[in-house]
Structure 1
Amino acid sequence: MIKIYTVASCSSCKKAKEWLEKHQLAYQEINLVTNHIGREDLLEILSLTEGGTVDIISKRSQAYERLNIDFESIKLNDLVELIEMNPTILRRPLIIDNKRLQVGYNDDEIRKFLPRKMRKIQIEAATERLYQFDLEEQFQEG
């Protein structure tokens, strides 16, 4: 099951949810303001990052500026506790399933949440459209 961590006022979160709904993918929404994000969830998110905290902490958030913490030197337990107490410090949306994480909304990257079979069909359809486009261009030129 896909989980998406959001904030109601976030336009990228709205886009991500709309994309998931359009592609009929079931998801569980966790609002970072109204729902508690637990230690286990945070550890799961961190385990899926490539760069650790740099990937998921929003340096533009008010919480980040207010806390003024060196995230390079903070211990893991302290970090998890800090995020639990200040969940809006996280970038959003955070979209995860059992093996993938996407931070923020990106129209191309979010496709990784589609089942492989569906991705293959979409690639084949796009390839066919390109082929048709090339034929039309050749016909117009010749």
Structure 2
Amino acid sequence: MINLCVLPSTASCRKAHRWLLEHRIPFHERNMNAQPLTETEIKHLLQYTYNGIDDLISTKSNAYHQLSKTTPIEDMPLAKLFGY
């Protein structure tokens, strides 16, 4: 089963949702506004990335712009990304 993590306000999330429905691919949808990823889940995802946190945070997102105001993401310790 595919886990689709979405921000409902984004066009790309709506497009992915629609594509999975059209192709009758079963999936579980998770609204990231209502249920954000936990620290454990982020660490798990990081194991599968090539570029680390850069593969998980969209440079177009508000979260990215808020975090990177003080320190570039690539120079930021994970503890700061997790909010402590």
TM-score for both structures, normalised by structure 1: 0.50
1:74 to 65, 73, 76: 76
CA RMSD of aligned residues (A): 2.0
Q: Distance in 2 between matches of 1:25 and 1:40?
A: 27
> Residue 36 of structure 1: CA displacement?
2.9
Q: Distance in 2 between matches of 1:63 and 1:54?
A: 12
Unaligned runs of 5+ in 1: 86-142
Larger mean Cα displacement after TM superposition, 52-61 or 12-21? 52-61
> Residue 12 of structure 1: CA displacement?
0.9
Following superposition of structure 1 onto structure 2, how do residues 1-142 of structure 1 map, counting pairs within 5 Å? Answer: 1-67=1-67, 68=69, 69-79=71-81, 81-82=82-83
Unaligned runs of 5+ in 2: none
AA partner of residue 50 (structure 1): Y
Seq. identity, %: 30
Comparing both chains, which one has the higher relative contact order based on Cα–Cα distances under 8 Å and sequence gaps of 6 or more? Answer: 1
Q: Distance in 2 between matches of 1:65 and 1:55?
A: 15
Q: What CA deviation, in whole Å up to 9, does each residue of 1:52-88 have, x standing for no partner?
A: 1122222222232223232222223433x13xx9xxx
Q: Distance in 2 between matches of 1:28 and 1:49?
A: 21
Count of matched residue positions in the alignment of Structure 1 and Structure 2: 82
